[in-house]
Structure 1
Amino acid sequence: MFDEQRFYDRLQRDLPIEPRPFRSAGATMDLSEHAVLSVLARDVGAGRISRIGAVFAPNVIGTSTLAALAVPPSELEEVAARVNAYGAVSHNYARSGHRYNLWFVAGARHRAALDTLLLRIASDVGQMPLDLPMEREYHIDLGFPISGARSRRSRRRMQPPAATLLDDDEWRLVAALETGLPLTPEPFHALARQCGVPLHRVLTRIAQWRASGVIRRFGAILHHRPFGFRHNAMCAWDVPDDCVDKVGIRLAGVAPVSLCYCRTRREPVWRYNLFAMVHARSEPELQAALDLFDREAGMAPMPGVVLRSGTCYRQRGTRYSWEATPG
């Protein structure tokens, strides 16, 4: 009998980097290559899966930012569509709980291109987006435990890899990876043809990136809502700068946290510098997670805000490979 929970708990990470990855992955679950590809094709088509491929560590091969706009509720759909017209935008959500209610993520090869993008969006929508680049990460993992609860994590601070300069061949490989592997028995062959890089170099480079942490995980990238994670919130706190690392490491150890990082403040309009994201299957589960923040991480004394996720206007991997000329 096919066990979907086991299937996706395994395939969200560590898809084999070899010529027939789906055959090898299936063998560990007593599934044929054809069966693995059939399930993945079904769920990509149904919108349950974003893609099969790489999640790059943030700000390692390029740069990205979390941005926000304060939009009248009646104009959210229109403004979200304007923001989504830019290919560099990867995530775009309505969030309630603050006057900044439309939140999006954008990436680029370098900061100058990202600044240009934000200026273009500002011109298009009539306001400059709140720009909140990440300063330090404490935990980032959007793999979802389909078959059970997350376990408590070590509070050891993550050491992300250093920024990496890519050559032209590597940028072509990144561009090909951004849309995911083709669902064919030999996807890396197709990837090599698409980016014009020999197969052995494609396999070697992806394996090296994964081993070094440049690629955070490699496998099935799920859209969390179709798998039941419909009650989600982004939380932010105003934490004194001299203790934000200590608090961030402690907060990252709370089991329900899927993202935890420090971002730049933008006072006076945005005073918060420590962020955590939690994804839950129900409102009671979400509230229990928020209670854990106070009980296990001591967040209650710190001024904070809870921004509950509303409409998802876009969710896909960060796009770094586009280029913009600073103007």
Structure 2
Amino acid sequence: MIDTKDREIIEALQGGLPLVPAPYAQVAETLGLEEDALLFRLAELKSRGVIRRIAAAPNHYKLGMTSNGMTVWDVEDDHITELGTRIGQLPFVTHCYERPRALPDWPYNLFAMVHGKDEVEVEEKRAEIAAILGDACRAKDILYSKRILKKTGLRLKAKG
């Protein structure tokens, strides 16, 4: 559960930090808090799992990364945690997660999103992932993006 002030903090930050030299100080001021109090509450929200992170979310299309592929892998269950962690730490993987298979049609349980300036670059990155997975990977595929469907996380509706 969150209290009223936590909700105000989440609503104030869910659209992004202000682009100013001291963004947390500015947000804290608008909420009637000291900056240290805001940072403490954010740490508490994170430790309780209410929020996962506060991070930059660059628009990869504007950065010239116009080819995007969700690589999907059928990885042996005994190795998925260790291998998924390694794949998720690669500098070119923007998100990596495990999902249940939907057999018999969908054997894939490891997903890793990669971006590149073209499909050749994305395929090179996919080959790097394949080399790490090695014999623990039984099948693979890639799903290329055709268009942007969503560019935001969960948003709380303002009370009112």
Q: TM-score, normalised by structure 2?
A: 0.74
Residue type matched to 1:235 in 2?
T
Counterpart CA distance in 2 for 1:197 and 1:270 is 51
* Aligned pairs for 1:223-238 within 5 A: 223-238=59-74
- Using the TM superposition, give the Cα deviation of residue 302 of structure 1 relative to its aligned residue in structure 2, in angstroms: 1.6
Q: TM-score, normalised by structure 1?
A: 0.40
Counterpart CA distance in 1 for 2:12 and 2:92 is 32
Residue 298 of structure 1 is matched in structure 2 by 134
Are residue 171 (structure 1) and residue 7 (structure 2) matched? yes
Q: Is the 8 A contact 1:294 1:300 kept in 2?
A: no
- Using the TM superposition, give the Cα deviation of residue 185 of structure 1 relative to its aligned residue in structure 2, in angstroms: 6.0
Counterpart CA distance in 2 for 1:301 and 1:198 is 51
Residue 154 of structure 2 is matched in structure 1 by 319
Q: CA RMSD in A?
A: 3.2
- Using the TM superposition, give the Cα deviation of residue 255 of structure 1 relative to its aligned residue in structure 2, in angstroms: 4.4
Which of 34, 53, 60 is the aligned partner of 1:199?
34
Q: Is the 8 A contact 2:69 2:114 kept in 1?
A: yes
Q: 1:301 to 1:268 in 2, by over 3 A?
A: closer
Residue 53 of structure 2 is matched in structure 1 by 216
Counterpart CA distance in 2 for 1:251 and 1:308 is 19
Residue type matched to 1:216 in 2?
R
Counterpart CA distance in 2 for 1:224 and 1:179 is 18
Residue 310 of structure 1 is matched in structure 2 by 146
SS in structure 2 at match of 1:321? coil
Unmatched 5+ stretches in structure 2: none
Unmatched 5+ stretches in structure 1: 1-164
SS in structure 2 at match of 1:310? coil
- Using the TM superposition, give the Cα deviation of residue 264 of structure 1 relative to its aligned residue in structure 2, in angstroms: 2.8
Counterpart CA distance in 2 for 1:237 and 1:185 is 42
Residue 252 of structure 1 is matched in structure 2 by 88
- Using the TM superposition, give the Cα deviation of residue 216 of structure 1 relative to its aligned residue in structure 2, in angstroms: 3.3
Greater RCO, CA 8 A, separation 6+: 1
- Using the TM superposition, give the Cα deviation of residue 245 of structure 1 relative to its aligned residue in structure 2, in angstroms: 1.5
**For residues 110-144 of structure 1, what are the alpha-carbon distances to aligned partners after superposition, in whole Å with 9 as ceiling and x for unaligned?**
xxxxxxxxxxxxxxxxxxxxxxxxxxxxxxxxxxx
Counterpart CA distance in 2 for 1:253 and 1:189 is 31
Counterpart CA distance in 1 for 2:8 and 2:155 is 11
Greater strand proportion: 1
Q: 1:199 to 1:290 in 2, by over 3 A?
A: same
Residue type matched to 1:199 in 2?
E
**For residues 127-168 of structure 1, what are the alpha-carbon distances to aligned partners after superposition, in whole Å with 9 as ceiling and x for unaligned?**
xxxxxxxxxxxxxxxxxxxxxxxxxxxxxxxxxxxxxx5333
